[in-house]
């Protein structure tokens, strides 16, 4: 590799290392380690048999930028975990201590959540508060308990809307029709639903509206229970108020909007006939008892936060809480895995 290309690779590596490690608190990212990471990247690419033979500077830059991006994660992991100096913090130990503190003081057990996702979300709070390490964040949480609420908001990322993913709701409507027919055939008069990981309440209220529509003109079903649970208490409080912006309702048809919502000061309030169908409660999948005799259980885009072991544990419990022939609705990107095929 000629000197010009070598200088290009070093400049790219320094630029990318400078920007991409800002949210890494699980490895050492001091100036010395960053410099070592750059040197390791340059050495690795220089020793590689994959080199570009081109006189076009832009083409050369784009090629080696891809090579730096491909190399940086493994190099940063190695150098950051094996710093060429005395490290004052065992980051694995302090990260575990942070999770232990969250579990002990707020009852949320995160030990079986995907570690990479947790680290990225927690890093956002460290950045926001200008905190340099997990150990310093533990002290900050002790001195500023309100930070737990902000942390939970960041961990949960409760972004939702009514009838999110329209094709899914076409399926749910068909599912409700089959369920109602089976209930009538078996001379059963109640239906029980559970929205697990309900966030701000859009999903359980959507379930209530969809089921209400499916039950129009069908008096045989006299009792409907919809349980909605989440680990974010701020979300549960918001959901119980049942007041939403127009943006949350973009998938609601004008007919359903007029039938089940009232407008007040530019906000849309869920009418009592729907609101009273849903009960909200705190539930942590990792430690609490689940409901029983559930006909339909929706748990969408929640499993992505859990490791494989916890996913299997939760699925086993879901199977136990569903009635024979009950339905489990998951997110589009989630699957049951080979253990359940």
Which string of DSSP letters, residue by residue, matches 124-135? HHHHHTT--SHH
User: What's the order of all strands across the beta sheet hosting 243-244?
Assistant: 243-244, 267-270, 261-264
User: Which DSSP helix (H) or strand (E) runs through 93?
Assistant: helix 91-106
- The Cα 294–Cα 99 span in angstroms is 32
Residue 227's pLDDT band, with cuts at 50, 70 and 90, is very high
258 has a pLDDT exceeding 90: yes
223: β partners: 190
Q: What tokens were used for 152?
A: 């939970």
Find the radius of gyration of the CA atoms of the chain.
26
Q: Please, how many CA atoms are within 13 Å of residue 176, restricted to the half-sphere of its CB? A: 24
What does the pLDDT read at residue 340? 46
91 in Cβ contact with 30 (< 8 Å):
no
Q: Per-residue pLDDT for 3 more than 90?
A: no
Q: 178-200 pLDDT, tens per residue?
A: 999 999 999 999 999 999 989 89
- Dihedrals phi, psi of 246, to nearest 5 degrees: -60, -35
Compute φ and ψ for 157, nearest 5 degrees.
Answer: 45, 75
**Is residue 341's pLDDT more than 60?**
no
Q: Is residue 1 predicted with pLDDT exceeding 80?
A: no
Query: What share of the chain in percent tops pLDDT 90?
Result: 56
- Domains in the chain (CATH in brackets) are 3-81 (no CATH), 91-156 (1.10.155), 166-340 (3.40.50.150)
- pLDDT for res 72: 92
């Amino acid at each position: 590799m000629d000197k010009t290309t070598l200088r290009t690779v070093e400049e790219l590596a320094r630029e990318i290392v400078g920007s991409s490690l800002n949210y890494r608190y699980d490895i050492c990212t001091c100036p010395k380690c960053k410099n070592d990471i750059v040197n390791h990247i340059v050495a690795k690419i220089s020793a590689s048999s994959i080199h570009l033979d081109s006189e076009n500077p832009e083409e050369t830059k784009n090629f080696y930028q891809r090579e730096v991006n491909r190399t940086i994660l493994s190099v940063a992991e190695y150098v950051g975990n094996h710093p060429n100096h005395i490290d004052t913090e065992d980051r694995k130990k302090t990260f575990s201590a942070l999770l232990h503190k969250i579990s002990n003081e707020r009852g949320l057990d995160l030990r079986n959540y995907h570690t990479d996702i947790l680290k990225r979300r927690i890093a956002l709070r460290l950045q926001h508060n200008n905190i340099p390490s997990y150990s310093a964040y533990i002290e900050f949480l002790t001195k500023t308990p309100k930070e737990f609420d902000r942390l939970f908001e960041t961990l949960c990322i409760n972004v939702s809307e009514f009838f999110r993913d329209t094709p899914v709701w076409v399926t749910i409507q068909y599912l409700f029709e089959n369920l109602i027919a089976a209930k009538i055939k078996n001379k059963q008069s109640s239906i029980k639903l559970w929205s697990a990981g309900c966030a701000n309440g859009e999903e359980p209220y959507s379930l209530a509206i969809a089921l209400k529509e499916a039950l129009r003109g069908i008096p045989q079903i006299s009792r409907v229970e919809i349980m909605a649970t989440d680990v974010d208490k701020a979300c549960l409080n918001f959901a119980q108020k049942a007041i939403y912006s127009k943006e949350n309702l973009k998938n609601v048809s004008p007919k359903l909007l007029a039938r089940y919502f009232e407008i007040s000061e530019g906000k849309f309030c869920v009418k009592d006939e729907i609101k009273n169908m849903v009960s909200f409660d705190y539930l942590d999948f990792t430690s609490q008892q689940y409901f029983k005799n559930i006909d339909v259980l929706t748990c969408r885009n929640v499993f992505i936060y859990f490791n494989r072991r916890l996913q299997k544990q939760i699925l086993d419990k879901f199977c136990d809480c569903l009635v024979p022939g009950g339905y489990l609705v998951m997110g589009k990107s989630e699957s049951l895995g080979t253990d359940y095929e």
